[in-house]
Amino acid sequence: MEADTPPTSSLVRTLRGETVRPAPVWFMRQAGRYLPEYRELRKTASGFLEFCYSPDLAVEATLQPMRRYAFDASIIFSDILVLPHALGQKVWFVEGEGPRLEPLTDPSGLTFATFSGHLAPVYEALRRLRAALPAEKAVLGFCGAPWTLATYMIAGRGGLDQWPARTFAARDPDTFAALIDILVDAAIRHLVAQIEAGADAVQIFDSWASALDEEGFRRWSIEPIARIVAGVRTQAPNVPIIGFPRGAGTGYGDFVDGTRVDGVSLDWTVTLEAAKSLQKSGVCVQGNLDPARLAVGGPGLDRAVRAICEALRDGPFIFNLGHGISLETPPENVTRVIDLVKETTAP
């Protein structure tokens, strides 16, 4: 089983190791609250999870930035926390504050009994999205990495330096490993189902990788993601996989070597010299504009975009942000960045 990946998709070609000019560009969270049309659409749903589980709304939200901008890829509108929700954990969102979960102390209560049916609306949205976009526009699926999901599941919310998950893992590594095993299985199932629904590539978000020490990063980030990559490839061997261990710092090289991802997303703290070194190792690099520069705009934004493009344009390179678009971002700044990327990386 494999996704139908057209040769015209510049993003997929780049993830397979080609140097494509102009460089493909998409942004994490490119669909969302910075767009006035999204804010109007959001009013039609009773809650955020209800929004994510409505194929009509999810597809419309995903297509909104594709109508505005010359992005080369679209990532399905969803959330990483649909996985713990599908496994039976209580999840809800508090307006203006973010996600809340019923804190988990024992993973044995999690179940796959209704997993696929629970997530069916996500896969239906992805099928509709793939049908709605031309072949040259890649469609991306995604999931949260086991460590990042575990931090939310144990603490019941984000933040707090991931102290609840870190102390849980240190105090009871066997139980924590059991939770990670469940999440590895869930991630493989979810990514494969998204590929079957039409995703041309997938990304694994380890948004809280920065909280881990060296041993923890290897055990709870690299090793589980390596298992996910291997598991997905047994069923979809030619579908590219991107990993994003945000805040991994000097551990990015170990992450690439250990997981064998096709592409690696870089946060904005990664130097361009380090990014070029990763490129030379054979991996496609993606990133890494600071979202704050995008929000502010002006000459500083132009300089940063040009510096990234000039440093990385000669290797497999996808222009993206170092994290998601901020709510404060003026939509016109996105147009400016795309124009600069296409101009600076032109053949």
Contact 311, 276 (CB under 8 A): yes
Closest CA to 219 of 168, 147, 160, 154: 147
Catalytic residue among 33, 68, 233, 336: 33
**pLDDT band at 7, cuts 50/70/90?**
low
Please state, in angstroms and as integers, the Cα–Cα distance from residue 193 to each residue in 58, 140, 141, 190, 334, following that order.
17, 12, 9, 5, 31
- The reply to whether 152 belongs to the active site is yes
Closest CA to 318 of 203, 205, 195: 203
Under DSSP, is residue 278 helix (H, G, I), strand (E, B) or coil?
Answer: helix
pLDDT for 1 beyond 60: no
Residue carrying the six token digits 């992005």: 71
Q: What percent of the chain stands above pLDDT 90?
A: 95
Overall size of the chain counted in residues: 347
Closest CA to 86 of 144, 28, 44: 144
- The reply to whether 79 belongs to the active site is yes
What pTM was estimated for this model as a whole?
0.96
pLDDT digits (tens, 9 = 90+) for 154-186: 999 988 799 999 999 999 999 999 999 999 999
Quote the DSSP letter at residue 25. B
pLDDT at 347: 92
Quote the DSSP letter at residue 111. -
pLDDT digits (tens, 9 = 90+) for 293-315: 999 999 999 999 999 999 999 99
- The reply to whether 29 belongs to the active site is yes
pLDDT digits (tens, 9 = 90+) for 20-36: 999 999 999 999 999 99
pLDDT for 3 beyond 80: no
Find the helix or strand (DSSP H, E) in which 243 lies.
strand 241-245
Q: Alpha-carbon torsion 11, 15, 21, 26, what sign?
A: positive
Q: Hey, what's the torsion of the CAs at 70, 71, 75, 79, to 10 degrees? A: -80
Over residues 123-144, mean pLDDT: 98
pLDDT at 148: 98
pLDDT digits (tens, 9 = 90+) for 226-242: 999 999 999 999 999 99
Catalytic residue among 34, 53, 72, 79: 79
Q: What would the two tokens of residue 250 be? A: 């000097």
pLDDT at 6: 45
pLDDT digits (tens, 9 = 90+) for 178-229: 999 999 999 999 999 999 999 999 999 999 999 999 999 999 999 999 999 9
Catalytic residue among 21, 42, 100, 260: 42
Catalytic residue among 53, 123, 152, 252: 152
**pLDDT band at 97, cuts 50/70/90?**
confident
CATH hierarchy code of domain 10-344 = 3.20.20.210
Average pLDDT, the chain: 96
- The reply to whether 339 belongs to the active site is no
Catalytic residue among 29, 166, 227, 246: 29
pLDDT at 96: 82
Q: Sheet with 138-144: list strands edge to edge.
A: 73-75, 138-144, 201-206, 241-245, 263-265, 284-289, 317-321
**pLDDT band at 282, cuts 50/70/90?**
very high
pLDDT for 101 beyond 60: yes
**pLDDT band at 331, cuts 50/70/90?**
very high
Over residues 98-116, mean pLDDT: 96
pLDDT at 160: 76
CA 62, CA 108: separation in Å to the nearest integer?
Answer: 35
CA 240, CA 234: separation in Å to the nearest integer?
Answer: 13
**pLDDT band at 95, cuts 50/70/90?**
confident
